[in-house]
Amino acid sequence: MANDIVGTPVSVTLDGTPYDVQADANFTQNKSKYDNEPQITSGRVMQKKTRRAQTVESVTLATNESEDEEIKNLADRIGVTYPMSYKTVDGTTHRTTGFIKYENRETQTGTTTIQMIPTSPNGWSAFIP
């Protein structure tokens, strides 16, 4: 069971299939739509904004071999996006459309780690109860 911390993730859904989250999961959210860089000039410092994906990284799912294979196949799809969401212990659900990057499988712990990447220009939408 996940810790009772407000933002602790409790479930993930990928293309309509729900997956359990590792009990001590702590996702890394990159919420900013822009990467800000300083541009040095002969006068003042200018700002360069580059659009970036609002990724959710270190998504550790509790999986068996069959579920891991499903996730790997989902990550290997070419040119296909699908609905994704994750829910936190406080009931907030974050949703988007995008794809995943398969990072690794740990056999000892029975976990699969992925990165969730939105393709929607609006990134993630939070539905707060």
DSSP character string of 25-50: --PEE---SEEEEEE--SSSPEEEEE
Query: Could you say which architecture CATH assigns to the domain 9-127?
Result: Beta Barrel (2.40)
pTM over the 0.85 mark: no
**Digit-coded pLDDT (tens) for 30-59:** 777 777 888 888 888 888 888 778 888 889
Residue 104 has pLDDT above 80, yes or no: yes
Q: Domain segments of the chain: what residues? A: 9-127
* CA neighbours closer than 13 Å in the CB half-sphere of residue 116: 27
Residue 14 has pLDDT above 90, yes or no: yes
